Every structure is written in structure tokens, then in C-alpha cells.
């Protein structure tokens, strides 16, 4: 093998530098494709397999939408699409049945928004802290956060119902109501502990481990040279994160936020135990201390009691279809925001 005008004798492939071996293997693969005139069979199988995987996912989503739409057909015929989505009545009495999904859509979106507002900065702050503390502290803390992610939602719900809501009502909600209840509508209403704010905080606690664990892995994947360069320029720890870490990991951080938001929108048991479970127009959140209900909680509360002979069951299935479409729409919008925030040209990230 020739290098810089000299001939170097390598007795085996192991003696050849790694980069040179890569170039040699690449040249051999190009020569093989050129001789055969077509890509190897493995490449064809790989393309077919990936295409089938993508089609499978799309087919499952399409089947779910069609099945839910078919099963909920009677309520769409009775109430109409616009009437069901924008309606506020919920009456399951035979002969006077009337169903509307708007209060539960609002309850889902509001509780998820409050939970994300609380959980997102805390999750990123936890991930940053785990990164900068010594390894003997950060590594066990990271494992603990990942273990919290595996706790079932019903455990969070029971803890919130019997322990958290009592202290939260006495120490937080009642003082806020006494101080601002007459002047700020967000704190109006008698605090009872089973309301939008309590459910949102439990929801935030549940999604913090998900967002924090993913954010930590994303930020640790940033090249160490970027962090060291920021320190060498005299940056503080916060400036290092702001200038060297966040620009290179913002797409991953948005992905972690989307994962947390997806769990918040679809969470059932913990929210059902804490949100108050009102129905109809009374479920529209009017303040943080107002009981409400989400789409998943109304399904969990009434699905077993729904009569197949009425349109009560199709109404619940229709709410399930709306929940699926809302979750898909939120994810599409979030991915669109990611593509707008992250500008990639020729492999380089621009701010």
C-alpha cells in the first residue's frame, strides 16, 4: 500500500488503519454493485421491510379511525358532527338523550396545557442538574427518575386522592382563594381538592420523568468539544447550556415535550380520580378550582354503564374518536413547530 510516495507493506487487514479499511470496503462494495448492475438482495429486502413497516403503521391508524367512526355512527347521525363536537349537553336518560363533547375537549386541552407548563421547565432543569453534578450523584438520580416513569398511573391517582389533595387544598388552594378569589377568576370557586389544578399537577408529576429522561439523553449527546469550547471562552454554566447545548439539542427537547404531551392528553386513571368528574356544561373549566372532566375520564367513568340499545355507547366511542384525532392533531402541530424551529442545511444546524 502506497502512502506519501512510499510503499508500506501490511501483512494483514488488522495492520491497515481503520479509515483506510473503511475506504477499501466502500470501494469493493461500489465495484460489486457496478459488476452486478443492481443492488444486493439484502438492500432490496431492507427497502421492502421498511416500506411494509411504514404501511403497517398507517394501516393500523386508518383501521382505528374507520372502526371508531363506524361504531360511533349513530351519535353522528343523531347529533351531527358540528353539534356533537360543539355541544355541551350530556344526558343519558332514555327518551331525552343529548350528547356533546366540547366540555371534555376543553378539559383535556386545559389540563394538558397546565401540566406541560409546570412539567417542561422542571424537567429540563432536572436534566441540566443531573448533567453538571458529579457522576456519583447524577447517575443514581438519573436511575431514580427513570424508575418513577415506571410507576403505574393508578398509584399516582391513589396517592393524589388520599394524600396530596388534602395538603394541597389546605396549604395552597385555600390561601390562594382567600387572597385572590374575589379579584382573579382563575382562583374563584370553593376549593375542594378535586378540580382542574389538582389533576393538572398530578399529571405534571407523571410526565416529568418522561420529559426529563429523554432531555437528559439528548443533551448528553451534544459533543463534549462544544461544551468545553464554551467554557474556554469564559461562559458560565448557564451560558454554556444556552450557547452550546440548547442549539444542538432543541429538536430532541421538542421531541421529549411531544412525548410528555402525548401522555398527558391520553392519561386516564389518575385524572379520573382527581378532576371531579362533572358532566355536561358544568364540566367546562371556569377556574382552576372548578371540577371538570377529560375525554378519557368520561369514557372510563361511563363505558361500563352505557347501554348498547341507546346512543350512549356510540357517544362514548365518538369521544374516543375525537380524542384520537385531537392527539394526532397536537402531534402534527408539534412536529410542524419542530421543523420550523430546526433549520438544517447540509448537516449543519443554524440558529
Alpha carbon of residue 146 to chain centroid: 16
Does position 150 have pLDDT exceeding 90, yes or no? no
For residues 247-256, average pLDDT: 86
For residues 44-65, average pLDDT: 92
For residues 264-273, average pLDDT: 92
Contact present, 254 and 163 (Cβ < 8 Å): no
Q: Could you tell me the end-to-end alpha-carbon distance of the chain, in angstroms, rounded to an integer?
A: 44
The more confident residue out of 30 and 143 is 143
* Residue 29 banded pLDDT, cuts 50, 70, 90: low
> What pLDDT, on the 0 to 100 scale, is given for residue 346?
37
Does position 341 have pLDDT exceeding 80, yes or no? no
Burial (CB count <10 Å: 0-12, 13-18, 19+), residue 301? middle
Among left, alpha and beta (phi > 0; psi -120 to 50; other), residue 277 is: left
DSSP-assigned beta bridge partners for residue 276 = 292
Query: Which segment of 32-46, 85-99, 220-234 scores lowest on mean pLDDT?
Result: 32-46
Closest listed residue to residue 334, CA positions, set 264, 251, 268, 263: 251
State how far the alpha carbon of 350 is from the alpha carbons of 28, 107, 251, 345, 346, in Å. Answer: 36, 38, 12, 8, 10
Does position 26 have pLDDT exceeding 90, yes or no? no
Please tell me the number of Cα atoms within 13 Å of 63 on its side-chain side.
6
Rounded Cα distance between 271 and 274, Å, is 5
Amino acid at each position: 500500500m502506497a502512502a506519501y510516495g512510499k510503499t508500506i507493506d501490511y501483512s494483514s487487514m488488522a495492520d491497515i488503519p481503520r479509515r483506510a479499511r473503511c475506504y477499501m470496503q466502500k470501494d469493493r462494495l461500489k465495484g460489486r454493485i457496478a459488476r452486478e448492475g443492481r443492488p444486493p438482495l439484502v438492500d432490496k429486502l431492507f427497502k421492502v421491510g421498511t416500506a411494509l413497516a411504514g404501511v403497517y403503521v398507517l394501516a393500523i391508524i386508518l383501521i382505528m379511525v374507520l372502526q371508531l367512526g363506524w361504531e360511533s355512527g349513530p351519535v353522528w347521525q343523531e347529533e351531527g358532527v358540528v353539534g356533537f363536537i360543539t355541544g355541551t349537553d350530556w344526558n343519558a336518560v332514555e327518551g331525552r338523550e343529548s350528547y356533546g363533547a366540547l366540555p371534555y375537549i376543553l378539559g383535556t386541552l386545559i389540563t394538558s396545557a397546565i401540566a406541560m407548563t409546570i412539567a417542561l421547565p422542571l424537567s429540563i432543569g432536572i436534566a441540566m442538574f443531573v448533567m453538571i453534578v458529579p457522576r456519583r450523584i447524577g447517575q443514581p438520580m438519573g436511575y431514580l427518575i427513570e424508575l418513577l416513569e415506571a410507576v403505574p398511573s393508578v398509584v399516582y391517582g391513589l396517592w393524589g386522592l388520599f394524600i396530596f389533595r388534602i395538603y394541597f387544598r389546605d396549604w395552597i388552594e385555600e390561601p390562594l382563594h382567600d387572597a385572590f378569589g374575589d379579584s382573579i377568576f382563575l382562583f374563584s370557586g370553593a376549593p375542594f381538592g378535586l378540580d382542574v389544578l389538582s389533576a393538572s399537577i398530578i399529571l405534571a408529576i407523571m410526565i416529568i420523568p418522561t420529559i426529563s429522561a429523554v432531555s437528559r439523553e439528548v443533551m448528553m449527546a451534544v459533543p463534549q468539544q462544544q461544551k468545553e469550547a464554551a467554557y474556554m471562552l469564559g461562559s458560565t454554566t448557564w451560558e454554556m447550556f444556552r450557547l452550546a447545548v440548547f442549539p444542538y439539542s432543541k429538536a430532541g427537547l421538542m421531541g421529549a415535550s411531544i412525548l410528555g404531551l402525548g401522555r398527558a392528553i391520553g392519561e386516564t386513571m389518575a385524572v379520573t380520580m382527581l378532576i371531579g368528574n362533572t358532566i355536561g356544561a358544568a364540566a367546562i373549566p371556569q377556574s382552576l378550582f372548578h371540577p371538570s372532566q377529560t375525554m378519557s375520564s368520561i369514557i372510563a367513568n361511563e363505558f361500563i354503564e352505557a347501554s348498547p340499545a341507546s346512543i350512549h355507547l356510540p357517544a362514548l366511542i365518538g369521544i374516543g374518536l375525537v380524542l384520537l384525532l385531537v392527539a394526532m392533531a397536537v402531534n402534527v402541530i408539534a412536529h410542524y413547530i419542530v421543523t420550523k424551529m430546526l433549520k438544517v442545511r447540509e448537516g449543519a444546524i443554524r440558529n
